[in-house]
């Protein structure tokens, strides 16, 4: 009679051995991951820069306004920050002047009021970028500032300043 020195492997033993190998592999992987990521533990500190808003000069018109006409507006933007800033719209800053406008004294005495002017909020689809610690001059398109048809004749040739914000 032939004797086999080993017993035949059964399916049950195969499952148990496979399970032990899998559990051991998962444990080794977990220990390795813990060892790798634990080296990043600790405390650290950092600071961020305090940013200041853009500085805009009062906008000036590029052509003479009279009742029923409109014009482009030119202004200078100053970025005092150590990083570039991007903005997408320019609007009237109604907290300055009279509702965001200022008209020279001679024309105010002639009957011109800020109600005669209307500013369109300008939005740029790509926005404007001002480099760090730099300034730039931009011209907003024609039609940005409009003088109404019913504006008094005293508004013709008026110097209108616009207080603008982003």
| 73 pLDDT tier (thresholds 50, 70, 90) | confident
* pLDDT over threshold 80, residue 38: no
| 24 pLDDT tier (thresholds 50, 70, 90) | confident
Alpha-carbon radius of gyration of the chain: 36
Q: What is the pLDDT of residues 107-126, one digit of tens each?
A: 889 988 887 777 666 666 67
Give the span between the Cα atoms of 147 and 20, in whole angstroms: 86
* pLDDT over threshold 70, residue 161: yes
Q: What is the pLDDT of residues 3-14, one digit of tens each?
A: 556 565 566 666
Span 123-145, average pLDDT: 81
User: Per the confidence metrics, is the pTM higher than 0.85?
Assistant: no
Exposed, middle or buried: residue 155 (CB in 10 Å: 0-12, 13-18, 19+)? buried
């Amino acid at each position: 009679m032939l004797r086999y020195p080993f017993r035949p492997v059964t399916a049950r033993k195969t499952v148990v051995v496979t399970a032990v190998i899998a559990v051991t592999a998962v444990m080794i992987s977990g220990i390795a991951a813990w060892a790798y990521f634990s080296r990043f533990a600790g405390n650290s500190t950092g600071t961020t820069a305090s940013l200041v808003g853009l500085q805009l000069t009062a906008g000036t018109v590029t052509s003479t306004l009279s009742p029923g006409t409109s014009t482009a507006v030119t202004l200078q933007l100053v970025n005092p920050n150590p990083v570039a800033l991007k903005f997408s719209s320019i609007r009237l800053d109604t907290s300055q002047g009279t509702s965001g406008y200022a008209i020279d004294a001679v024309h105010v005495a002639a009957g011109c009021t800020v109600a005669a002017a209307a500013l369109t909020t300008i939005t740029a689809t790509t926005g404007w970028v001002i480099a760090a610690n730099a300034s730039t001059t931009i011209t907003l398109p024609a039609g940005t500032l409009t003088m109404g048809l019913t504006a008094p004749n005293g508004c013709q040739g008026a110097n209108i300043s616009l207080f603008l914000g982003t």
